[in-house]
Homo-oligomer: A and B are copies of this chain.
């Protein structure tokens, strides 16, 4: 293999596939990046068995292939080298004994490559039906749900995000059993029924790669994996096996009390009210709605002290005394993904899950389980 490639072009594409490199992969060769020069294109591939990413570089002006070939270079060092090169052009060529030489201006790097036959065969296959949506919508679906997925491997299925289609509607749900985030979107056409659980980590990495909001993404669901096609990137993730719990009955539909707040005021008040709660990591604050329609948010820590925040909500449906306690972290996580300036909290009881909605956040529901207080 021998190629001449523009430094910035190579670095940009390396950055994208680096999302699939891990420091402790299941096989040593997966710390490597596979570079394949074939025809008029260079294919860069990285994989950690959970995520596999391939980018295809075709650029007549900034890429020149002098000899086809395949090489698997140590990923971390190859990226470091390209990052530190200031020259415009990089010359990459393979030699006997599996050595790759990288020449840029007056720098010469010799890298020991992996045996290319050890690299697993990774197929990036289309499915029969692909869902198409724009990057902006997909990024919103990801950003507004994945934070609510579980981090604990004790119930693996909850570390994933449920994607389910029904007619023209797709519903995306994440829950760690203490809170739940749900967003749906409606397509202009109907798709066949899909039930898939995508690891939340995979979606977070995909979110980082997609930087062009107006582009389209094709999503190909297969029984064991999902493939996202974005610009010159193929991003593939394994799916989590199993049946996602039915969460449709968890979300209350009738409420006793709804209170509308300025979102930023509410966030600032909760942040202050929870300042002392991190020390015992319970992170619990109390919210009290008074019959005069003022709201108090408070917490107490015997060692350090107490905080009380008073808020005047924008609206309050009923003049009743109501008290509830919850995790400030979960509440803040949920509030922060709303685009609306005003958010409404809907309560059904002091020990019942409550729901957060925002006027401009169409099709988004955030649900939080309260904590029982003595």
Q: Which residues of A contact B (CB under 8 A)?
A: 74, 77, 80-81, 84-86, 99, 106-112, 268-269, 271-272, 275-276, 303-311
B112 touches A305 (CB 8 A): yes
Residue in contact with A80 in the complex, picked from B112, B275, B310, CB distance below 8 Å: B275
A275 touches B77 (CB 8 A): yes
B residues less than 8 Å from A308 (CB atoms)? 107-108
Residue in contact with A106 in the complex, picked from B271, B276, B309, CB distance below 8 Å: B309
- Give the top 5 A-B pairs by smallest Cβ distance, nearest first: A106-B310, A111-B305, A110-B305, A110-B306, A108-B308
A303 touches B272 (CB 8 A): no
B99 touches A305 (CB 8 A): yes
Known: A77-B305, A109-B272, A109-B305. 8 other contacts (CB 8 A): A77-B275, A85-B272, A107-B272, A107-B309, A107-B310, A109-B307, A110-B305, A110-B306
Given contacts A80-B275, A81-B275, A272-B81, contact A74 B304 (CB under 8 A): yes
The smallest beta-carbon distance between A109 and chain B, in angstroms, is 5
Q: Which residue of B lies closest to A80 (CB)?
A: B275
* Cα A107 to Cα B303 with chains together (Å): 20
* Cα A111 to Cα B308 with chains together (Å): 12
14 inter-chain pairs at a CB distance below 8 angstroms, sorted by A residue, are A81-B275, A84-B268, A85-B272, A86-B268, A99-B305, A106-B311, A107-B308, A107-B310, A109-B275, A109-B305, A109-B306, A110-B305, A110-B306, A111-B304
B110 touches A77 (CB 8 A): no
Q: Which residue of B lies closest to A77 (CB)?
A: B304
A276 touches B107 (CB 8 A): no
* Cα A285 to Cα B307 with chains together (Å): 57
B residues less than 8 Å from A81 (CB atoms)? 272, 275
A112 touches B304 (CB 8 A): yes
B residues less than 8 Å from A303 (CB atoms)? 112
* Cα A77 to Cα B81 with chains together (Å): 44
B residues less than 8 Å from A108 (CB atoms)? 307-310
The smallest beta-carbon distance between A248 and chain B, in angstroms, is 38
Residue in contact with A276 in the complex, picked from B77, B275, B307, CB distance below 8 Å: B77
Q: Which residue of B lies closest to A272 (CB)?
A: B84
* Cα A81 to Cα B107 with chains together (Å): 52
B residues less than 8 Å from A80 (CB atoms)? 275
Q: Which residue of B lies closest to A271 (CB)?
A: B84
B residues less than 8 Å from A309 (CB atoms)? 106-108
Given contacts A304-B112, A305-B99, contact A275 B84 (CB under 8 A): yes
B residues less than 8 Å from A85 (CB atoms)? 272
A307 touches B107 (CB 8 A): yes
* Cα A305 to Cα B310 with chains together (Å): 63
Q: Which residue of B lies closest to A100 (CB)?
A: B305
B residues less than 8 Å from A306 (CB atoms)? 109-110
B residues less than 8 Å from A74 (CB atoms)? 304
B residues less than 8 Å from A110 (CB atoms)? 305-307
The smallest beta-carbon distance between A225 and chain B, in angstroms, is 32
